[in-house]
Amino acid sequence: MTSIKNSRGRDTLEVDPQDKEYLKTLLRPNGWRFSLWGGLHLSLWVLFAALIFATDNLLVQILCSLMLGNVLHAMTILQHDCGHGSAYRSASANLWVGRFLAWFIIMPYTTFTVAHRWHHRSLGKPAEDPDDWFYAAGPRWLFVREWLFVPRFIMISLLRYGREVRNTVLMELLFNLTGWAMMIALAYEFDLIREFVLILAIPLALLALVINPISRGYEHYPLALIREDDADRLNIAAGTVTVTNQLLGFLWANITYHVEHHVYPAAPLYNLPKIHRLMRQRDYIRVPYPLYKYPLTTGSTEAVQLNN
């Protein structure tokens, strides 16, 4: 779907030639497998929402609300796969499943999909990459700037990418906001405001203010440290971070394998760990947990493979 020909270092990150045929199988969408991942996370959402309804224990309700925030993040990654065309072989299925998942976070599906394509095409280029603004003020402001992720991306999608994209974004935004307004009205009508806050409002705030800034912030954390005129900004391995912790990978739908995702953006989320193993001997940054030690360049003797 997207091109990363302008990023240096891709040839040193690709799999060995003898693995190319196997790689082709890993890049093919499997709708059943994606549906299992999506169904699992949607089932967790229903479970935690049902527990909030079923108990009067405030502590249990708050814990379930926190877990719902994490499930929302997984849904954003699932709709992100739809945007890459790596969820289903059908473009229509990708579109409508992606729109359904995006409803939970209000942001229009087309907003993220179109802007994200430009991110892959222009990683490390401040004037072109819509994500670069989040890193431009350095690590001190990175996570705070990520609080503005949704409104900033909506504004970018309305202004930068032409009339067709703008009209689609407005349609999706209207649908999402209408749906949320209906949920608020129903909660008020049936005296379920407390449940609305616990099931929808708090998880969305947790996603926007805590989980998403951490996840997105660490994906390209090095860009907050590398100068704009440094050639390493165009190097995938120098500007992108993979976190190999399996539990975090499950909770966040493997978006933690971010080097692999940028080298092979068409790869379905469930195959990224397999691609990681094919690339395991490559010289790129891999850490088991975010981000207690970080070498600025992968070509230097300071590069550390912390999970070996």
- pLDDT of the residue at 52: 97
Profile the chain (308 residues) by mean pLDDT over runs of 10 residues. Answer: 43 76 94 97 97 96 97 97 97 97 96 95 91 92 94 96 97 97 96 96 97 92 86 84 88 93 94 88 54 43 31
- pLDDT of the residue at 20: 87
Contacts 24+ apart (CB under 8 A), 170-174: 172/99, 172/102, 172/108, 172/109, 172/110, 172/111, 173/106, 173/108, 173/111
Residue 306 DSSP symbol = T
- pLDDT of the residue at 68: 98
